[in-house]
Chain A
Amino acid sequence: MWWPAGDSLLRVRPRDTDWEGVRLHVVTGKGGTGKTTVAGALAIALAAGGRRVLLMEVEGRQGIARLFDSPPLPYGERRVAVAPATPTLPGGEVYALAADPEAALLEYLEMFYNLRHAGTALTRLGVVDFATTIAPGLRDVLLTGKAVEATRRRSGGRLYYDAVVMDAPPTGRIGSYLNVATEISGLAKVGPIRGHADTVQSVIKSPQTAVHFVTVLEEMPVQETLDGVAELRGLAQGGLQLGGIMINMVRPVDLTEDQLLAAADGTLDQHELDTGLKAAGLEDRDGLAASLAAELTEHAREELAQRAQRTRLAAAGQPCYDLPLITDQMDLAGLYRLAAALREQGAA
């Protein structure tokens, strides 16, 4: 983790893990930033050390199944990965759940009213669809409710899951998604769902829950992250805890500071490249040195643009974590690398 401090970016590690005590990790981010991937990596990172973690998705996209290369997930918790054991730590387990509001509502009806049978008939009539449709907040409260239930679930006197990671809706929707009690209060002023919403809210707005943002170092995703942080900060008075900013797809910088600035200006010494290429035994065919210089220039401008975005993110005042760009197709090995990066930086 690096804490932004003024203009310089200090790298510090105040404690072993930054989110001690957090059991429900909500992961949001703009589309295309790798939200599901980072949520998966976080689940693996949290599972290390013999722990059991639930990774849950709520948008019906089967993104988790794709990520772990498994068949579509049913509405049920299924083990999708193990966290690798290390010489010092035993491995752990990651379970996954593709939550679905309809199933969650039926479960809720059964739990509170013993209405499973009627529920099936109601599904056919479209009541469930209707209820979740007329009250969008209801849909959200059922989904967050499922996460809260898993977070609090006990078995044999101990907590069933050590942590729950929720791959939440994108940044644009996260405020209303998490603010369920208020969203629903406009609709259901009284009634059982209201009570349920209040319970859900009390867990979400507690130190047990943290909301993490996934972004890449581009202008729009960073803007959305800053907007999202500001929005949630408005809700923070109610106890909502902001989490970390996970900067995804970070490329290593291969140039020295001087080289970087010169390359960005297009004032790199091409003679240096010329002789270098000769030394490497490459002939300068079709302006090879000039082409490589152009590539360096683009690389440097990209890097400087990313730095500017980093500075903007620093203004959010939340801890930031860097996740390396995985250039190969994302697979389990890539996820383990990201999980390791999260652990090294203290996110888990």
Chain B
Amino acid sequence: MRAGPALEVDRLLDDPRTRIIVCCGSGGVGKTTTAAALGLRAAERGRHVVVLTVDPARRLAQSMGLSSLDNTPRPVPGAAGEAAGGSLHAMMLDMKRTFDEIVEAHSDPDRAAQILANPFYQSLSSSFAGTQEYMAMEKLGQLRRADEWDLIVVDTPPSRSALDFLDAPQRLGRFLDGRLIRLLSAPTKAGGRAYLKFMTAGFTMVTGVITKIIGVQMLRDVQTFIAAFDTMFGGFRERAEDTYRLLQAPGTAFLVIATPEPDALREASYFVDRLASDQMPLAGLIINRVHRSPAAHLSAARSLAAAEVLQPVPGSGDGPLDLAENGYSKENGLSHPVAGSPEPGGKPAVAATTSRHPLTATALRLHAERMQLAERERRLEESFSAAHPVIPIAEVLAQPEDVHDLDGLRSVGKELARGVRLS
């Protein structure tokens, strides 16, 4: 089976028409690192880049050597963009601050103060499931309009599913513009009275139940909030629709991030389908933490067989070895082999000789494990490509250590840009 085409990362980063790159995927696949690595690489290739992260864990801050990120883009120290005429900024979304700014920008100071002090608003702006996504989109729109950067790289919120990112903003918009919120706000509006008479029975029932559930105080908070927020309703849905359109625009490129594991690739697959049905421009799939072997010509089976020759597994039928008697112990396991090596290529004649290569046996077993892992990963990737044959793919090898500095990000960027499929 043929694997998908290779994703040409540098071509994407260098193309001045690429204005927004959205990194999405399920949790724990390395979205933040990928976004940071792409941003750094683009900056060092001459783009003016801002990386927007929405992850509260300050992960980007850590990997970019910044102690804190607030709601303002800050230059990343040590990013060598100047040489190429580029620059790199990074920022972390403060969703409450962003929400407050919208309120302040769209109402007079008195009313804004009233809204900001409302307990219901405070809950909505800090913990509503979807506020984070909405505000990420809002911020993206703001950065795009500011036009100070020619490339924005966005790391999407760590939602339970990659799809939340697309749905949540509209959900918040729908909620704020919804009929129930209108129904509840009806008594506070002049024109609502007549409508209310019509609805009295239903209305009483609804408010009655809501009161039972959340308490009368909270219902009152909600109604006060709605009254104060009135002028801004409608605007919310509109804004959500605006950013949605921005995402569909030709300057936007989606990169779906995954790891070669069943759950992550299944999620990636859903997301790819969803982007297609929403006419969102998908640039490709990035698979992080891929395992390959530099000695791929030695198969797992042959490697295991060879390890067995050197160090029979106890109880495997070759007879148990008395390791101590053969001069092997943990202390001298590393020592040079002593005289008595078997003839090259020949099957070792006696156990006493073969047990002297424990390191090689271990190396062969580890190699076999890695070959099996690589094979499993390849099969998973192949089944992804079979379902999505035209999606370009870039692979990043698993790193023995975590990435937490710019050099680490640079080498990830280099791998991303290698432009050929591994294997």
Q: Which residues of A approach B to under 8 Å, CB–CB?
A: 30-33, 59-61, 66, 105, 109, 113, 115, 118, 122, 125-127, 130-131, 133-139, 170, 172, 176, 183, 186-194, 218-221, 223-224, 227, 254-259, 262, 268-269, 271-273, 275-283, 285-288, 291-296, 298-299, 301-302, 305, 327, 329
Contact = CB atoms under 8 A, between A and B. Distances in A.
Contacts of A66: 263
Given A170-B158, A192-B212, A279-B341, A255 B362 contact: yes
Contact of B295 (A30, A176, A278, A286): A286
Interface in B339-365: 341-342, 344-348, 353-354, 356-357, 359-365
Given A278-B344, A279-B310, A295-B367, A271 B214 contact: no
A59, A188, A280: residue with the most chain B Cβ atoms closer than 10 Å: A280
Given A281-B347, A296-B362, 19 more contacts: A31-B158, A32-B259, A109-B213, A115-B209, A126-B180, A133-B175, A135-B218, A138-B213, A189-B217, A191-B218, A220-B59, A269-B336, A276-B357, A276-B359, A278-B342, A279-B353, A294-B294, A295-B293, A302-B401
B334 A256 contact: yes
14 contacts: A31-B158, A109-B213, A113-B212, A133-B175, A137-B127, A176-B127, A187-B119, A187-B218, A188-B218, A193-B214, A255-B359, A262-B334, A268-B359, A277-B306
Nearest to A128: B213
A335 B280 CA distance: 39
B325 interface: no
B297 interface: yes
Nearest to A286: B297
A295 B294 contact: yes
A33 B341 CA distance: 45
A188 B212 CA distance: 10
A118 B209 contact: yes
Nearest to B262: A329
A96 to B, nearest CB: 18
Contacts of A273: 359-360, 363
Given A136-B127, A254-B365, A291 B295 contact: yes
Interface residues of B, number: 86
B196 interface: no
A31 B160 CA distance: 8
B45 to A, nearest CB: 27
B27 A32 contact: yes
B373 interface: yes
B402 A172 contact: no
A126 B140 CA distance: 30
A7 to B, nearest CB: 21
Contacts of A302: 400-401
A255 B358 CA distance: 9
B357 A280 contact: yes
B337 interface: yes
A257 B334 CA distance: 10
B310 A223 contact: no
Given A176-B127, A327-B373, A30 B28 contact: yes
Contact of A272 (B57, B336, B364): B336
Contacts of B127: 136-137, 176, 183
A254 B402 contact: no
A105 B213 contact: yes
Given A172-B158, A189-B217, A275-B357, A134 B120 contact: yes
> For A133, A269, A271, A329, which residue has the most chain B Cβ atoms within 10 angstroms?
A133
A55 B389 CA distance: 38
Given A194-B215, A258-B333, A327-B372, A279 B123 contact: no
A127 B370 contact: no
Contacts of A281: 306, 309, 345-347
B417 interface: no
Interface string B191-234: 00000000000000110011111111110011000000000000
